[in-house]
């Protein structure tokens, strides 16, 4: 065993796969085994591995200016170009961009900018943030507090209350519905819950509502029709900002440029990372509305500095790589192609509807999940996370990387450059893995009659 403390890993079960190289939509381990990427790394390698144009862009920038910071008035052209490009792409009015290194730190930056902004406009009491149950927003102290998943909270004693984080329902009809409740009634009930919580807390104390337009780590939950419409109407009524965490859904993942477009959301703030650089370099962007930024200028001048920034905020190599990635998205029509292949992925996943283990199939565009259940007819979940882990390993045994999320859901998030033939290859492996998993569940008596 090496001396690494592994991230998001059972520390009793480390170093199970050593990845050695990547090519296109495949990775290879140190024993020469080949795997198709069913999850684009961690929902991020949109353009696959070994893209020479991106490698050249990085090398060229390293040769020209390998590092320069952005503190105290310094800037560089490649950073300004990237910021302009992002501002022009996002559905945020007069968007301004703060650069960071990861989705987690970008969400932290957003919390700090929210506080800065509301202090600036004389509303210091307006700092609470509504986050949803089962959401995933990262793992720094603040972003893990936004996250609504137990494994990211347990043993960490996070300052959830101190940060003013409130929790509302996850819009997952399959798991959250009451007996006999229609989808429309479910939406009505959970949005009423949201409004009641806002009234109980006091709208004047709540700054923002954060949501992944379509979730990732909580099992790829696509909210029912009408949900975001109702949520946005409530937020507008009480002057609460919509903050879209697009770390997974940004850049062509859900069949459109952004998850907000797919789900009809008009956000005031947006978190971007992952596919911004196709994961060739770590970089994130915390995007806010122009008027929010304008309000922050004077207070920074009083202090002498906007006292927030990272050594690597706007790292020139990460910016050059991201600019090249955005250029490729546009030039090669990547989002439209991914929408086409994504529709195919969704229809192929639906073919598993009759499999005895499959309870619900969810997704949009190039992201999807199968929820595996102990009783197909009642939807009773498997106890613990054993089945998800087993199915994920079975996929790996058949040469495909995927990811078990939220216990027993198997997630798919292939690179955007995948073809329909790649999807066919994945589905063939999935069929075998599901049959292996069913045999295991029968043998271990895990199915419930």
Ligand X SMILES: Cc1ncc(COP(=O)(O)O)c(C=O)c1O
Give dist(CA 272, CA 320) in Å, integer: 16
Nearer to ligand X among residue 141 and residue 442 (C-beta) = 141
Residues at the contact surface with ligand X, assessed by CB under 6 A: 42, 102-104, 107, 136-138, 212, 216-217, 245, 247-248, 273
Nearer to ligand X among residue 89 and residue 106 (C-beta) = 106
Nearer to ligand X among residue 138 and residue 368 (C-beta) = 138
Shortest distance (Å) from residue 273 CB to ligand X: 5
Nearer to ligand X among residue 191 and residue 218 (C-beta) = 218
Give dist(CA 445, CA 243) in Å, integer: 44
Asked whether 253 and 275 are in contact (CB, 8 A), the reply is yes
Shortest distance (Å) from residue 251 CB to ligand X: 13
**Phi, psi for residue 397 in degrees, rounded to 5:** -60, -30
DSSP letter at 123 equals -
Nearer to ligand X among residue 314 and residue 358 (C-beta) = 314
Kindly report the number of other CB atoms within 10 A of residue 373's CB atom.
23
Give dist(CA 216, CA 272) in Å, integer: 14
Kindly report the number of other CB atoms within 10 A of residue 340's CB atom.
15
Nearer to ligand X among residue 194 and residue 285 (C-beta) = 285
Q: In what order do the strands lie in the sheet with 269-272?
A: 96-100, 284-288, 269-272, 241-245, 206-211, 128-132, 165-168
Shortest distance (Å) from residue 274 CB to ligand X: 7
Shortest distance (Å) from residue 210 CB to ligand X: 9
Shortest distance (Å) from residue 173 CB to ligand X: 20
Give dist(CA 423, CA 429) in Å, integer: 10
Nearer to ligand X among residue 42 and residue 431 (C-beta) = 42
3-state secondary structure 260-288: HHHHCCCCCEEEECHHHCCCCCCCEEEEE
Residue nearest to ligand X (CB): 103
C-alpha separations of 6 from 101, 116, 183, 293, 406 in Å: 19, 34, 41, 37, 20
Asked whether 278 and 44 are in contact (CB, 8 A), the reply is yes
């Amino acid at each position: 065993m090496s001396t690494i403390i592994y991230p998001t890993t059972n520390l009793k079960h480390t170093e199970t796969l050593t990845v050695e190289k990547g090519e296109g939509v495949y990775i290879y381990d140190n024993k020469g085994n080949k795997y198709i990427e069913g999850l684009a790394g961690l929902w991020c390698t949109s353009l696959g591995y070994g893209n020479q144009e991106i490698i050249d862009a990085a090398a060229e920038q390293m040769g020209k200016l390998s590092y320069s910071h952005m503190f105290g008035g310094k800037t560089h052209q490649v950073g300004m170009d990237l910021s302009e490009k992002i501002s022009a792409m996002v559905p945020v009015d007069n968007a301004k961009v703060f650069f960071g290194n990861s989705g987690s730190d970008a969400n932290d930056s957003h919390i700090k900018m929210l506080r800065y902004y509301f202090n600036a406009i004389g509303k210091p009491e307006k700092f609470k943030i509504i986050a949803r149950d089962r959401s995933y927003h990262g793992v720094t102290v603040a972003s893990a507090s936004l996250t609504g998943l137990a494994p990211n909270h347990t043993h960490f004693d996070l300052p959830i209350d101190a940060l003013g984080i409130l929790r509302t329902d996850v819009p997952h009809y399959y798991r959250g519905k009451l007996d006999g409740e229609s989808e429309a009634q479910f939406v009505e009930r959970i949005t009423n819950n949201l409004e009641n919580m806002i009234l109980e807390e006091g709208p004047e104390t709540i700054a923002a509502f954060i949501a992944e337009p379509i979730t990732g780590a909580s099992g790829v939950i696509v909210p029912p029709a009408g949900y975001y419409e109702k949520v946005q109407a409530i937020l507008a009524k009480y002057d609460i900002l919509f903050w879209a965490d697009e770390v997974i859904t940004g850049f062509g993942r859900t069949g459109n440029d952004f998850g907000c477009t797919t789900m009809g959301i008009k956000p005031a703030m947006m978190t971007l990372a992952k596919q911004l650089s196709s994961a060739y370099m770590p970089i994130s962007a915390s995007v806010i509305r122009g008027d929010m930024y304008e309000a922050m200028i004077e207070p920074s001048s009083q202090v002498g500095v906007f006292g927030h920034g990272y050594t690597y905020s706007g790292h020139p190599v990460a910016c050059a790589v991201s600019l090249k990635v955005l250029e490729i998205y546009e030039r090669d029509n990547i989002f439209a192609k991914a929408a086409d292949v994504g529709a195919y992925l969704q229809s192929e996943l639906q073919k598993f509807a009759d499999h005895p283990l499959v309870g619900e199939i969810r997704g949009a565009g190039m992201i999807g999940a199968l929820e595996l259940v102990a009783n197909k007819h009642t939807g009773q979940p498997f106890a613990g996370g054993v089945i998800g882990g087993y199915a994920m390993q079975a996929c790996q045994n058949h040469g495909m990387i995927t990811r078990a999320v939220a216990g027993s859901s198997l997630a798919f998030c292939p690179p955007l450059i995948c073809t329909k033939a790649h999807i066919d290859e994945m589905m063939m492996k999935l069929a075998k893995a599901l049959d292996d998993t069913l045999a295991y569940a029968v043998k271990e008596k895990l199915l419930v009659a």
